[in-house]
Amino acid sequence: MTVTAIASTTHEEIYRVEEASAGLLGFIAIHSTRLGPAAGGLRMRPYASEEEALTDVQRLSEGMTYKNAAAGLTLGGGKAVIIGDPARDKSPDLLRAFARAIESLDGRYITAEDMGMSPSDMGVLAEETRFVAGLADGEFASGDPSPITARGIFNAICTTRAHKHGSRDLGDVTVAVQGLGHVGWYLCQFLTEAGAKLVVTDIDEARVEQAIAEFEVKAVPLDEIYGVDADVFAPCAIGGILNAQTIPQLKADIVAGGANNQLATAADAAGLHARGILYAPDFVANGGGIINVATEIQRIRDRKGFVAEKLQALDETMASILIQAEAADVSPAEMAIATVQARMASSSKAA
């Protein structure tokens, strides 16, 4: 296996990981360890190129720094990606090889489940590295973080609705959900229980049919989800989907979802703001998963109590960001970054 350091002016450490015999090619990025060891999930996707994967891991790891800070965790930001189709290319040998690369970093990066991975995959990683969380069993096992992530996103939708329209009630509210993976699915469940009407889309047609049967949702083709006549747009798939092409199509006046790096560029936050669309910053809205994983990393026995406390604090942070952004007439994305940067600076001074 070859682990090669890549020079960076934006990240503390970046590594290219390759083991040809296992079909492994991927990257690990440590953005910041200012608040603690870098924590963030391992993602597997069929990236079109190494450059695309490297760009993604850098953006995702930076997002984890902000996410962990927003959630009030003593963890820094990191991320890992593997190039490949998880349905076809993932194997125990590939996972074990990548785990050895993680182990070689001696705890500066701690991984967990993300897109294309499962708790059972984390178990395979644990055969070769101590620095993995999101396990299905064990004394401090936190399991699948998706339900907690979805709960945080559900809270964010309620909070943005309350800020925009004065009520957290979702009865008769229409939500367009983009992506029916683990997080999107649980979000649909919570929204349905709250009385919301759903319009969904996903690349997996079988998953869409299952959602229609279970939640009585309306389904639309992938490209039509942006223009759906909805109150809330909830992106829960890949990042970069809020851009100059999609923002003009939106009919919803709130965007709150689970995808990481939803904004293609910083200018797109201003584009939403200019249109009067209230944006729930993604790294605040989707912080529930890492809160859940943190209980395992930090070996917290009262997991339910810790998660409930941190989710409540995260919701209060979201509400505060929305209030401050409105007062300053800026995008909540801009205010969210300023908020977490202030927290990190305060932590550094205290240290």
Angle between helices 288-297 and 146-165 (to 10 degrees): 140
**Identity (one letter) of the amino acid at 236?**
C
Distance CA 224, CA 51 (A): 29
Q: Which of 79, 90, 197, 310 is catalytic?
A: 79
Write a three-state SS string for the chain.
Answer: CEEEECCCCCCCEEEEEEEHHHCEEEEEEEEECCCCCEECCEEEECCCCHHHHHHHHHHHHHHHHHHHHHCCCCCEEEEEEEECCCCCCCCHHHHHHHHHHHHCCCCCEEECECCCCCHHHHHHHCCCCCCECCCCCCCCCCCCCHHHHHHHHHHHHHHHHHHHHCCCCCCCCEEEEECCCHHHHHHHHHHHHCCCEEEEECCCHHHHHHHHHHHCCEECCHHHCCCCCCCEEEECCCCCCECCCCHHHCCCCEECCCCCCCECCHHHHHHHHHCCCEECCHHHHCCHHHHHHHHHHCCCCCHHHHHHHHHHHHHHHHHHHHHHHHHHCCCHHHHHHHHHHHHHHHHHHHC
Does the active-site annotation cover 79?
Answer: yes
Residues acting as catalytic residues: 79
